Amino acid sequence: MAVNAMDGYDGIGMGAFDDFCMVDIDHCVFGGKLTQMAEDIVEKMDSYTEFSPSGTGVRIVCKVSSLSYDTGRYYINNQKLGLEIYAAGVTKKFCTLTGNVIRNCGVEERSTELGAILETYMLRSIPQKKNDVQDIPGSYLSDDSVVRLASDSRQGEKFKALWNGEIPGGKSHSDADMSLASILAFWCGGDTEQMDRLFRKSGLMRSKWDRVQSGSMDLCQYFGQKKLKDYAAFPSSSSSFFWGVR
């Protein structure tokens, strides 16, 4: 890029003006390869894409001329996934550019595609009033998406080990069940049907699980309904209940 070659400049910043929009994905490059979430977003957006200044993230530049960004429905910055959207009228921040290209194509109109990304990755959970009875929020992710996103998360290695049936040293099988269930509660939005379906696909599945399901207790009761709902809504404050989940 021409400005990079000029003396006296540390870099280039681009604001979200007019129809321009930037999609910023943090901590998604490992060993030169993108995480599955980043690959999904880059493929769907199919617009100019480059590595971030740190080399561990991705920036996509596009145009969104016909998208109404509902900040009450969608996050601007989903810190859980490391995904942030820079769009006109919703942020005053600017995005730094490097010219370290991943996809060297034009800055394309992608209103429809960004709308699909928002629905998949940026939906806000329904806020709860203090002292109100909390309903489990429910899941908007497919089973495959839950496994993929949990595997790509900061506790991905722990999830993959539990998913494959590994029991951490010094812990019981029931402890491992609880830890996997707590991670699934977070990514499934507390949807116990989806949690049960996924748990049965994991390496921790055993006959005891069916004995619980066919008896007088359901999944929420087995793991503690209030704690399960609290974890789904407030994972950081409930991490002391589920060992090792942070």
Residue 96 is predicted with a pLDDT of 87
124 Rama class: left (phi>0) / alpha (psi -120 to 50) / beta: beta
CATH of the domain at 33: 3.30.2250
Torsion, Cα 94 98 99 101, to 10 degrees, reads: -100
Is residue 77, in this structure, part of any structural domain at all?
yes
Q: Are residues 11 and 64 in the same domain?
A: yes
Range of the domain at 59: 2-121
Structure tokens at 238: 């409930």
Residue 215 is predicted with a pLDDT of 44
Nearest to 60 by CA among 74, 69, 71, 48: 48
The number of distinct structural domains making up the chain is: 2
Residue 133 is predicted with a pLDDT of 46
Distance CA 140, CA 148 (A): 14
What residues are paired with 26 via a beta bridge? none
Q: Are residues 15 and 58 in the same domain?
A: yes
Is residue 135, in this structure, part of any structural domain at all?
no
Q: Are residues 159 and 74 in the same domain?
A: no
Q: At what angle do helices 156-163 and 173-187 cross, to 10 degrees?
A: 120
Q: Are residues 179 and 222 in the same domain?
A: yes
pLDDT in tens, the chain (246 residues): 554 555 666 678 888 888 899 999 999 999 989 999 999 999 999 999 999 999 999 999 999 998 888 998 999 999 999 999 999 888 888 888 888 999 999 999 999 999 999 999 999 887 655 555 445 556 678 889 899 999 998 889 999 999 999 988 888 888 888 888 889 888 888 788 888 889 889 998 887 666 544 444 445 445 544 444 444 444 433 333 333 333
DSSP 8-state assignment for residue 123:
B
